[in-house]
Amino acid sequence: MRHTTIMSTTLGIIAAALLLAGCQAAPVGGIEPAAPDHGSIDEPIVDVDSEIPEECIDVAVGWYPGVSIDSLETVPAGWPAPPADAILCSTSSGGTIETASYATSLAFDELAAHYLADLPSEYTAAVISGDENGTGYDTVDGNGPGIAFQISERDGGFRLAFAREAG
């Protein structure tokens, strides 16, 4: 029961923080910024001059040359390397939750097996179906010493999210 409570709490914290990370700031000084024209909601927003790897277009919100997992401070020591075919598309840092988005051709069950097989022994994790978590995308939710993490399925890839436990 304790494991289920920890996993539920971890998932809730990560989901809330990811939701908040997508919110826009309120207008400053009463001036409403102009809404950017993003075209159709079904079209990815891509700066064609940025040389974004084609595999990353559907996976990442943004991309920049030289993106590196080393920009994230919350990736724990001993964290498993991504699968050999994974391409790092973007990272997001600076808050309580940091993320890395990857493109890969692996099915999510193969990806989950890859990470679960290589997790250090002090980590616990469980695969949660998209039906169970309500997103339609499968996840691996877990925690280890001082950290909660989630590996979430994305079209064309996956996202890692890390959150340090308060303490």
Is residue 128 in some structural domain? yes
pLDDT tens for residues 20-35?
A: 344 334 444 444 444 4
pTM over 0.75: no
> What are the structure tokens assigned to 107, written together?
């099915």
The domain tally of the chain equals 1
What is the extent of the structural domain holding 100? 2-20+55-164
What is the chain's mean pLDDT, rounded?
A: 76
Residue whose tokens read 């193969």: 110
pLDDT at 70: 84
In three-state secondary structure terms, 89 is strand
pLDDT at 27: 41
What average pLDDT does range 44-60 have in this prediction? 65
What average pLDDT does range 132-140 have in this prediction? 94
Whether the predicted pLDDT of 6 surpasses 50: no
The CB density around residue 88, as the number of other CB atoms within 10 Å, is 20
Whether the predicted pLDDT of 110 surpasses 80: yes
Whether the predicted pLDDT of 3 surpasses 50: no
Is residue 29 in some structural domain? no
Q: For residues 49 and 79, give the distance between their C-alpha atoms in angstroms, rounded to a whole number.
A: 33
| DSSP code string of 65-94 | TT--GGG-S-SPTTPPPPPTT-EEEEEE-S
Nearest to 68 by CA among 53, 51, 90: 90
Is residue 45 in some structural domain? no
